Amino acid sequence: MNKVVGSIREAISLSGLRDGMTVSFHHHLRNGDYVLNLVMEEIAAMGLRGLTVNASALFDVHAPLLRHIEGGVVTGVAASYISGGLGRAFSRGILQGEVEFRTHGGRPKAIAQGVTPVDVAFIAAPAADAMGNCTGKFGPSACGSLGYAFADARYAKKVVVITDHLAPYPLQGWSISEDQVDYVVAVDAIGDPKGIVSGTTKMTRDPVGLLMASYAARVIEASGLLQEGFSFQTGAGGASLAAAQFLQEIMVRKKIRGSFASGGITGCLVEMLRAGCFESLLDVQCFDLKAVESLREDPRHQEISAMQYAAPGSRGAVVDSLDVVILGATEIDTDFNVNVHTDSSGVIMGGSGGHSDTAAGAKIAMVIAPMFRARMPMITDCVTCVSTPGRHIDVLVTQGGIAVNPQNGELKDRLRAAGLPVMEIRQLKEKAEGITGKPKAVSRGDRVVAKVIGREGELLSSIRSVPQNP
């Protein structure tokens, strides 16, 4: 027995894919991914129509998808994140229906519960054997964790593994096991290593970013949570990395041994693990080569599925054990609602990812963002799109001051006592508008082009069309 078939087309054909069905993809190869395009090209060539693409994220590299939408091959799109290049097209209304945004935890939950069933999952696998055991830890396109693909493999009716590194059976250190896989296809390359992970992720040198990062670390230090067993998550942006580095200095100096860091993992968090700041890393996605290598080599660095990472519900997930998460925002309003889906003119350029999931789970959810970008103030009366409800956000850190959600009075007192520049979020808003001026209201189309669905399945926001730029 051997599940290797000769081509992607043969696997699609054997999978029984028909018009109107749903195909799924994961995004660990990020902007280096070849697999989604290869598969959709074949699907289009086979004359299939009316498909839904459910991807954990879509990047600019997936621009050919727009052609398949225009041609009617694809009529439904679901994702947790859509990059700016594609987002502009969706905001113009290229899709007849509405894009469905779910969170990194909500997506696998919806798949598991049959709310968004997947007919055929295509797993881009940096290493696989002929029976479908596969992992992202090895191979020329190694990307590390395959965390977002676990639910697709577990719940899709048919599962196709596509690899450029077919290893002898049984593959050692598999992430997804053969009992979930129907077909295996070997191709020349599943991705461009340059786009998959960056060689190194770098902390910011921008003075505004450094100031925010230093505030962020001091907020954590003052929060009362930075003690034995501390748990932490942050992103891969420059200011987040700088905040982690400042935090590391504090933890090493104070000899604080935390329990874990989670989420997308960077070399910066690997350094913290090695420095003894954490006992383990819980990794749903690797952002750089150092993280990939650590996941492969260090048993304290463990791969988690998106379910284990972030799925909502009574069983809980890693996010429910988080002390502090550092998050970004394109906009935040005076009720602390955060937008990470659109820019301030309403054009899609992101998505929740794990934003809402970690904000809901963590004891302190901290947003760090500059007061304005390109002369557009970041704090508004009402965000263009609610990605994460304000009740889950505890504190906003900007270069001009720190605002604490009134529902967290204790934190406010602690930050004040630590001498941090705490002010009301309305004061911060006015301060920013004093520099940039009040922005003009943005005009928006009537059509809903995307729905933002919260982690529990509730409708959070509707994103409206934006006229094409001249």
Task: Please report, as ranges, the residues that interact with its own copies according to CB under 8 A.
Answer: 1, 3, 131-132, 168-170, 172-174, 177-182, 229, 259-260, 279-280, 282, 299-300, 302, 304-305, 307-308, 311, 314-318, 320-321
Q: How far is the CB of 359 from its own copies (least distance, A)?
A: 15
Residues 6+ apart with CB under 8 A from 354: 103, 104, 105, 233, 263, 264, 284, 309, 310, 319
Four-residue CA torsion sign, 7, 13, 16, 19: positive
For 425, the 3-state DSSP assignment is helix
Q: How far is the CB of 183 from its own copies (least distance, A)?
A: 10
Q: Which two tokens stand for residue 441?
A: 């209201």
Asked if 46 and 15 touch (Cβ cutoff 8 Å), the reply is no
Q: How far apart are CA 5 and CA 283, in angstroms?
A: 31
Decide whether 179 or 458 has the Cβ nearer to its own copies. Answer: 179
Q: Across-strand partners of 401?
A: 398
Four-residue CA torsion sign, 46, 49, 54, 59: positive
Decide whether 163 or 308 has the Cβ nearer to its own copies. Answer: 308
Q: How far is the CB of 268 from its own copies (least distance, A)?
A: 20
Q: How far is the CB of 85 from its own copies (least distance, A)?
A: 33
Decide whether 31 or 321 has the Cβ nearer to its own copies. Answer: 321
Decide whether 62 or 165 has the Cβ nearer to its own copies. Answer: 165
Q: How far is the CB of 137 from its own copies (least distance, A)?
A: 11
33: DSSP letter: B
For 73, the 3-state DSSP assignment is coil
Decide whether 194 or 300 has the Cβ nearer to its own copies. Answer: 300
CB atoms within 10 A of CB 75: 17
149: DSSP letter: G
CB atoms within 10 A of CB 224: 13
Q: How far is the CB of 2 from its own copies (least distance, A)?
A: 9
Decide whether 11 or 402 has the Cβ nearer to its own copies. Answer: 11
Task: Give the DSSP H or E segment for 331.
Answer: strand 331-333
Strands 459-464 and 448-453: antiparallel
Decide whether 130 or 326 has the Cβ nearer to its own copies. Answer: 130
Q: How far is the CB of 361 from its own copies (least distance, A)?
A: 8
